[in-house]
Amino acid sequence: MKIVVGLGNCEPKYAHTHHNMGFLVVECLASKLDVKFKTRECDSLIAKTYIGGEPIVLAEPQTYMNLSGVAVKQLLAKYKCASKDLIVTYDDIDLPRYSVRVRQKGSAGTHNGMRSIIESIATEDFPRVRVGIGRPPSGVPLVDFVLAEVPSADRAKMNDTIVAASEEIYKLICLP
């Protein structure tokens, strides 16, 4: 079994912001797998499917970013999964804009949602797919940048990045 968690903020006003890249990636993957987010459990919206007979749970925590670990800990407990069965996807200011990076483990870096997960499940040992959003422009506070909508001029390229990130997650699920 795999649990794929996209990090974001649950209010509609944040839907197309830099900080919602994780939600957008799991929604892209759900579309590719032809499943819908229709269940609420473990403080998350959930979509379930199977790939090659393996159960897959896609999750969007509804706890807000900084408390994402609460939902992830509940999901791992409910489905009796270890951290190696978890894949997390999220935005990352420390990566160049439009880049995707896959890591098998690591620190939270500057990301509060990842910090919450690592603290809640007491390990850094789980795969993650990071979507590069780049640093804020000079003079723009970080919080204003990550909570700002992706500019319309950047949306097509960012959408390509979201698709690429969902493909990386699919590979992680399907590879032994």
94 and 110 Cβ atoms separated by less than 8 Å? yes
For 52-78, what is the mean pLDDT? 96
Closest by alpha carbon to 29, among 172, 175, 176? 172
Per-residue tokens: 133: 């959003």
Question: How many structural domains comprise the chain?
Answer: 1
In this prediction, residue 176 has a pLDDT band, given cuts at 50, 70 and 90, of low
pLDDT recorded at residue 153: 93
| Spatial separation of the C-alpha atoms in residues 162 and 142, rounded to whole Å | 21
From the CB of residue 157, how many other CB atoms can be counted at a distance below 10 Å?
12
Domain range spanning residue 129?
2-174
pLDDT tens-digit map of 119-174: 999 999 999 999 999 999 999 999 999 999 999 999 999 999 999 999 999 999 99
Residue type, 15: A
Q: The tokens 């979509």 sit on which residue? A: 47
Give the full edge-to-edge strand order of the sheet including 44-51. Answer: 39-41, 44-51, 54-61, 2-6, 86-92, 128-132, 100-103
> What share of the chain in percent tops pLDDT 90?
95
User: Residue 143: which CATH number?
Assistant: 3.40.50.1470
Q: Which residues of 51-83 are buried (b: 16+ CB within 10 A; e: fewer)?
A: eeeeebbbbbbbbbbebbbbbbbbbbeebebeb
Residue 16 bears catalytic tag: no
Selected catalytic residue, list 16, 18, 19, 111: 19
Q: Which two tokens stand for residue 120?
A: 């809640």
